[in-house]
Amino acid sequence: MCGIQLQKVSKQFTEGHSSVTVLKEVSFTVNSGELIAIVGPSGSGKSTLLSMIGALLKPTSGIVSVNDQDLTTLNAKQLADFRLNEIGFILQSSNLIPYLSVYDQLILIKKMGGKFNKKDQQYAVEILTELGLGNKLTKMPNELSGGERQRVAIARALFNQPSIILADEPTASLDSNRAHEVVKLIASKVRKRKKAAIMVTHDERMLGYCDKVYYMEDGVLSIKNSVM
């Protein structure tokens, strides 16, 4: 199955003699073309969950599958490839590299990997144009508005054509209009390009753009409602 599947995923952190269970038997599915939201109080385990789906953390127990691949069976090199090829991260602040132009933010990683060709060049311009940044290709991050910076981050997340988009508080640094604009864009790209996407958010106004809303509390995930 394409998309994300979690089966009874738990995560414990151990420090010295004490351990804390941050996720408790979390199970859910996100299909391709679906954007789901996870809401819940600070410290409830939302970022830990995203980190596990993004192969940055391993579960203590349970199965995290992406596109039918059980991530717990992959070695370090395979996990690094998986992160690079299958996951697009969009974070709270856009995390752009200050000394690179808008265009270079997208192509740097491919250039470093020595796999850069004319098609990539065209695709970078196409996707930036689609996100309304066609006239900003040579601008530096400090010459952009917060909303524009976040749109570059979305373009960068989509550029590798990952199957999964993980967005952690993507609107936290934006005013209300820009927040709507950014989440609307994420939702439309997810549907058009058939990504499976998860957005962690504190912003209830963004939930209308999502197919499902889950609530996390004390490491337990439950369905909040269906908003479509």
Residues making contact with ligand ATP (CB under 6 A):
13, 22, 40, 42-48
Question: Residue 2 or residue 207: which is nearer to ligand ATP going by CB?
Answer: 207
Cβ closest to ligand ATP, residue 91 vs residue 125: 91
Smallest distance from the beta carbon of 198 to ligand ATP, in angstroms? 12
Nearer to ligand ATP, 47 or 105 (CB): 47
Vertex 216: Cα angle to 214 and 221 (nearest 5): 70
Backbone torsions φ then ψ of 150, nearest 5 degrees: -70, -30
* Smallest separation (angstroms) from ligand ATP to the CB of 20: 6
Which tokens in the block code for residue 189? 């790209």
Tabulate helix, strand, coil % of the chain (nearest 5): 40, 30, 30
- Give least dist CB 13 to ligand ATP, A: 3
Burial code (b: 16+ CB inside 10 Å, e: under 16) for 83-112 equals eeebbbbbbbebebeeeebbbebbbeebee
Report, in Å, the least distance between residue 139 CB and ligand ATP.
Answer: 30
- In whole angstroms, the minimum distance from the beta carbon of 214 to ligand ATP comes to 12
- Please give the order of strands across the beta sheet that includes 61-66: 18-31, 3-15, 61-66, 69-70
CA distance 81 to 93: 24
Q: Which is nearer to ligand ATP, 52 or 106 (CB)?
A: 52
SS3 30: strand
Give whichever of 143 and 217 is closer to ligand ATP, judged by the CB atom: 217
Q: Sign of torsion, CA 92 61 161 187?
A: negative
Question: Which DSSP letter does residue 71 get?
Answer: G
* In the complex, least distance from residue 192 CB atom to ligand ATP, rounded to whole angstroms: 28
Residue 18 vs 117, nearer CB to ligand ATP = 18
CB of 186 to ligand ATP, least distance (A): 19
Q: Which is nearer to ligand ATP, 192 or 202 (CB)?
A: 202
Instruction: Give the residue carrying structure tokens 């996951």.
Output: 87
